């Protein structure tokens, strides 16, 4: 994975490039008090190519959904740069941003909440075409039926309501809706977390198949490294709004260098026994409040290897052993 400075659109360029992307929220606690500042995402950089999946992992509250909302243009970054299909997605004229909105589609965690219960599948799938294209009703229906088949649902499902489906089927409908406008990038925020484990694999397989056939890029948000292992090409591990380790999945899973990544892997069923998990770090203590993050290394309050230097000096994200990692002592884990 590379962090690239963007130029104009050209073939083979990444679909999305984020550079030092930031989001700060103002928290007001009363009329007379100055607002507090919560840094939900504190400068994250990445790129995703067509046909590839970048998985963003980390505990609850580390900024994953905030990142997802920025990349899907729902929320404006407070700092950094975001280019989608070579276009400056933050500063482009309104019309161009509208075009980008169609190119980036979201799939949410909760297939129960994200589908309108009063609308039939037909209306749910055809709505994006009705709003954004000049297709006739017959053409819209044809496209919707074709998409239904692509996500593994049957023709008779077309006239049914969301409540008549299982959780996995509803997520298939949500995926179908996201694909109706032929997007370039799909941002999926915990898309299988609400599903039974047995159903998760089916939906992950579907996402992988659709990626292949449509050349889609995925930004795949998950707290579960077991899920990420199945779908990711690259991985970005976040802690308190910061990227602590990022690179190719195979590299990171084979030899995690950041103590936080090591802890995540060690606590993931099915991965905990892997030979890569040499440093059995058990995460102790609470995640610090993002309103009052630790000085120095963000992980310093929970890291078993912490030193005075870690508390004083924030480690920069830097290249170590074929990936980027933000730990002063990453080399020690490389040789261990």
- Give the CA distances from residue 178 to residues 147, 151, 207, 224, in Å, rounded to whole numbers and listed in that order: 10, 11, 12, 23
Residues 324, 98: Cα–Cα separation, whole Å: 34
Given ligand SF4, Mg ion, ligand ATP, none, residue 303, with its beta carbon under 5 to 8 Å by kind, binds ligand SF4
Q: Is residue 89 a contact residue for ligand ATP (CB under 6 A)?
A: no
Q: Is residue 65 a contact residue for Mg ion (CB under 5 A)?
A: yes
Residue 307: DSSP 8-state = -
Q: According to CB under 6 A, which residues from 190 to 249 bind ligand ATP?
A: 223
Name the residue among 262, 246, 242 with its Cα closest to residue 320.
246
- Give the CA distances from residue 289 to residues 68, 69, 72, in Å, rounded to whole numbers and listed in that order: 21, 21, 26
- The secondary structure of 19-60 as a DSSP string is EEEEEEEEE--SSSSPPEEEEEEEEEEEEE-TT-EEEEE-ST
SS3 label, residue 70: helix
Q: Is residue 243 a contact residue for ligand SF4 (CB under 6 A)?
A: no
Nearest distance from C-beta of residue 241 to ligand SF4, angstroms: 15
Query: Is residue 52 within 8 Å of residue 218, measured between CB atoms?
Result: yes
Given ligand ATP, Mg ion, ligand SF4, none, residue 299, with its beta carbon under 5 to 8 Å by kind, binds ligand SF4
Between 9 and 27, CB nearer to ligand ATP = 27
Query: Is residue 310 within 8 Å of residue 303, measured between CB atoms?
Result: yes
SS3 label, residue 224: coil
| The pair of three-digit structure tokens given for residue 28, joined into one six-digit string | 């007001």
- Per-residue contact track with ligand ATP, 272 to 311, x per CB under 6 A? ------------------x---------------------
* Among positions 218, 220, 253, 299, the unique one binding ligand SF4 when judged by CB under 6 A: 299
* Among positions 63, 168, 247, 259, the unique one binding ligand ATP when judged by CB under 6 A: 63
Between 58 and 162, CB nearer to ligand ATP = 58
Nearest distance from C-beta of residue 227 to ligand ATP, angstroms: 13
Q: Is residue 297 a contact residue for ligand SF4 (CB under 6 A)?
A: yes
Name the residue among 26, 24, 128 with its Cα closest to residue 76.
24
Q: Is residue 310 a contact residue for ligand SF4 (CB under 6 A)?
A: yes
Q: Is residue 60 a contact residue for ligand ATP (CB under 6 A)?
A: yes
Stretch that binds Mg ion, among 17-25, 57-65, 224-232, 328-336 (CB under 5 A): 57-65
- Per-residue contact track with ligand SF4, 67 to 96, x per CB under 6 A? ------------------------------
Return all residues near 1 (Cβ < 8 A) that are at least 6 apart: 46, 47, 54, 234, 246, 247, 248
Query: Is residue 219 within 8 Å of residue 254, measured between CB atoms?
Result: no
How many residues interact with ligand ATP (rule CB under 6 A)? 14
* Among positions 43, 51, 61, 86, the unique one binding ligand ATP when judged by CB under 6 A: 61
Tell me which residues touch ligand ATP (CB under 6 A): 25, 27, 38, 40, 58, 60-66, 223, 290
Tell me which residues touch ligand SF4 (CB under 6 A): 258-259, 297, 299-300, 303, 305-306, 310, 315, 327-329
């Amino acid at each position: 994975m590379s962090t690239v400075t963007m130029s104009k659109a050209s073939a083979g360029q990444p679909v999305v490039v984020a550079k030092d992307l930031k989001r700060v929220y103002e928290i007001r606690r009363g009329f007379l008090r100055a607002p507090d500042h919560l840094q939900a995402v504190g400068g994250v950089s990445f790129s995703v190519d067509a046909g590839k999946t970048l998985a963003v992992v980390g505990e609850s509250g580390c900024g994953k959904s905030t990142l997802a909302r920025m990349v899907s243009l729902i929320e404006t970054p407070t700092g950094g740069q975001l280019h989608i299909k070579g276009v400056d997605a933050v500063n482009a004229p309104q019309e161009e941003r509208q075009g980008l909105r169609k190119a980036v589609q979201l799939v949410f965690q909760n297939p129960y909440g994200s589908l309108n219960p009063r609308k039939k599948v037909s209306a749910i799938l055809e709505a994006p075409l009705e709003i954004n294209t000049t297709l006739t009703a017959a053409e819209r229906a044809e496209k919707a039926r074709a998409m239904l088949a692509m996500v593994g649902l049957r023709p008779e499902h077309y006239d049914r309501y969301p409540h008549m489906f299982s959780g996995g089927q509803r997520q298939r409908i949500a995926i179908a809706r996201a694909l109706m406008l032929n997007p370039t990038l799909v941002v999926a925020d915990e898309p299988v977390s609400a599903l039974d484990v047995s159903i998760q694999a089916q939906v992950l397989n579907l996402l992988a198949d659709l990626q292949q056939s449509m050349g889609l890029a995925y930004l795949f948000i998950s707290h579960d490294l077991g899920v990420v292992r199945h779908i990711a090409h690259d991985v970005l591990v976040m802690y308190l709004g910061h990227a602590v380790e990022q690179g190719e999945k195979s590299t990171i899973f084979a030899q995690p260098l950041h103590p936080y990544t090591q802890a995540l892997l060690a606590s993931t069923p099915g991965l905990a026994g892997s030979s890569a998990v040499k440093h059995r770090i058990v995460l102790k203590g609470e995640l610090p409040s993002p309103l009052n993050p630790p000085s120095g290394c963000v992980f310093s309050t929970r890291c078993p290897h912490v030193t005075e230097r870690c508390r004083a000096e924030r480690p920069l994200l830097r290249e170590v052993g074929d990936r980027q990692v933000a730990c002063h002592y990453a080399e020690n884990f490389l040789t261990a």
